[in-house]
């Protein structure tokens, strides 16, 4: 089932998520819904907080569904290491129509659980490392616009506020 994606400014997006405790049918349904929602958007990543569920879960698939082995599900993830830097433009399903250049790690190692509660580690570089950091930010109550400074951030926030006032957001 495709769920609505929360937009920037919604309180739930700015609140850190809680760890998953129960690996039950509700969690499995949430993960399936998140995958459906990510592919329908279309996007390469989605955090549970973006669909209004305050749990530490995200899904990433750089192939956007074209490669069945490309889907990564991370539950209760944490960074083991992050190295280097990359500066690339990125967007967000919770900020449709807005992009900005954001500093992210070039490489990372993430540890967490799979959808069934089994431990896993994932090494990433390039776009995958960027996606991991982007989704981890969501789980910590941050969006890419929160990483921007100065006029770039102000321009995006002001445009969103204007869209909110006119009912277009």
- Nearest Cα to 79, choosing from 13, 144, 123? 123
Catalytic residue among 32, 90, 123, 135: 135
Please say if 121 is a catalytic residue.
no
What is the rounded CA–CA span in Å between residue 18 and residue 23?
Answer: 14
Q: Which residues are catalytic?
A: 135
């Amino acid at each position: 089932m495709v769920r609505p994606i929360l937009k920037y400014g919604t309180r739930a997006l700015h609140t850190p998520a809680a760890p998953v405790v129960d690996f039950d049918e509700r969690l499995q349904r949430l993960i399936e819904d998140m995958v459906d929602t990510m592919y329908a958007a279309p996007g390469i990543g989605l955090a549970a907080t973006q669909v209004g569920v305050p749990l530490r879960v995200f899904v990433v698939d750089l192939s956007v569904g074209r490669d069945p082995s490309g889907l990564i599900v991370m539950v209760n993830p944490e960074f083991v290491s992050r190295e280097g830097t990359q500066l690339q433009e990125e967007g967000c399903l919770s900020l449709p129509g807005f992009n900005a250049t954001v500093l992210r790690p070039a490489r990372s190692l993430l540890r967490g659980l799979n959808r069934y509660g089994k431990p896993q580690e994932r090494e990433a570089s390039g776009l995958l490392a960027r996606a991991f950091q982007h989704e981890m930010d969501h789980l910590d109550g941050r969006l890419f616009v929160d990483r921007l400074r100065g006029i770039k951030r102000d321009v995006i926030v002001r445009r969103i506020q204007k869209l909110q006032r006119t009912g277009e957001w």
